């Protein structure tokens, strides 16, 4: 791995944006942060539906009332445990705390193990993750990237992007699913049946919602509603950090966008790598059927 540039911090082999991470914040997340039994974690590899899950968890906990989701930024409502703001946001917060993380399981707070905390792991077709990350890297001034999409696919395939390898992340977390309070969701099933997915989340959280509250969650977490919500569409972030004229943060919001980006050869090479890496996982994902 190359030495970290001015925008990056290198922690235990992982290269992360220095804008919101530091060696101290990552060490605190792993070793200092005390997981509580009622904590609810949303864990994702970047660009897999993190912001969507932040919105859903907020709305579920507000019984479908959008007031909180429309008045407090998503990163404060469901903060990332690994970011420099984590202790300030989370230490004095009453339970249940809603917490985001992109950390691979090996760098996650060690006090998760042995706790009753809940983990929702959302996974998305890696080809769509790759496309989404490519556009995100273009618009985010703190990320370096090659303009050529083929080169970007190679970096992504080799895990030389923020938060490392998609394969290691997914396989690591899925390997823990029988040992934790764990719900596996896919971006694709959320897209296909948001209401059904919200019901699954509610069941997992032990928080059933009335039909009206469920309506409120589904309406306010739609792609269109979220695009208009300044508290989750990242328009609060200055343009010199995220330039949404280059690419909006909430960009397309659909499965399958990879088909307009990968060449046949790039797609086949990625499929071979995918087969090799995922053959022992034993789960069929929606994109495996395509």
Residues near ligand A3P (CB under 6 A) are: 44, 46-52, 128, 132, 135, 191, 221-223, 226, 250-253, 257
Nearer to ligand A3P by Cβ, of 110 and 141: the residue is: 141
Nearer to ligand A3P by Cβ, of 139 and 209: the residue is: 139
Choose among 227, 222, 287, 223: nearest CA to 259: 287
3-state secondary structure of 234: coil
Q: Which residues contact 32 (CB under 8 A, 6 or more apart)?
A: 87
Nearer to ligand A3P by Cβ, of 36 and 199: the residue is: 199
Q: In angstroms, what is the minimal distance from the CB of 178 to ligand A3P?
A: 25
Phi, psi of 86 (to 5 degrees): -60, -50
Nearer to ligand A3P by Cβ, of 29 and 78: the residue is: 78
Instruction: Find the catalytic residue in 61, 102, 169, 261.
Output: 102
3-state secondary structure of 273: helix
Q: Whole-angstrom Cα distance, residue 99 to residue 177?
A: 18
Whether 21 is catalytic is no
Are 280 and 152 spatial neighbours (Cβ–Cβ below 8 Å)? no
Q: Which residues contact 17 (CB under 8 A, 6 or more apart)?
A: 7, 8, 9, 140, 142, 143, 162
Residue tagged 């932040």 (tokens): 54
Q: In angstroms, what is the minimal distance from the CB of 244 to ligand A3P?
A: 12
Active site residue ranges? 102
């Amino acid at each position: 791995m190359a030495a970290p540039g001015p925008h990056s911090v290198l922690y235990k082999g992982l290269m992360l944006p220095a804008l919101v991470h530091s060696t101290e914040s990552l060490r605190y997340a792993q070793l200092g942060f005390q997981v509580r039994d009622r904590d609810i974690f949303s864990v994702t590899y970047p660009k897999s539906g993190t912001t969507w899950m932040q919105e859903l968890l907020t709305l579920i906990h507000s019984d479908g009332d959008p007031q909180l989701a429309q008045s407090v930024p998503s990163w404060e409502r469901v903060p990332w445990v690994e970011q420099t703001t984590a202790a300030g946001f989370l230490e004095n917060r009453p339970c249940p705390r809603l917490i985001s993380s992109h950390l691979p399981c090996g760098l996650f707070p060690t006090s998760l193990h042995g706790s009753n905390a809940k983990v929702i792991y959302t996974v998305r077709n890696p080809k769509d993750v790759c496309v989404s990350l490519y556009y995100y890297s273009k618009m985010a001034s703190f990320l370096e990237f090659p303009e050529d999409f083929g080169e970007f696919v190679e970096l992504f395939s080799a895990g030389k992007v923020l938060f490392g390898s998609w394969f290691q992340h997914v396989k690591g977390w899925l390997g823990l699913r029988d040992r934790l309070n764990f719900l596996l969701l896919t971006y694709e099933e959320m897209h296909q049946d948001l209401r059904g997915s919200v019901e699954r989340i509610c069941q997992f959280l032990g928080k059933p919602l009335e039909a009206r509250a469920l309506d409120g969650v589904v309406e306010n977490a739609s792609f269109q509603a979220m695009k208009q919500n300044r508290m989750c569409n990242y328009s609060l972030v200055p343009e010199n950090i995220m330039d949404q004229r280059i690419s909006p943060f909430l960009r397309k919001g659909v499965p399958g966008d990879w088909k307009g980006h990968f060449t046949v050869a790039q797609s086949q090479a990625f499929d071979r790598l995918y087969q090799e890496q995922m053959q022992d996982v034993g789960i069929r994902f929606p994109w495996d059927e395509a």
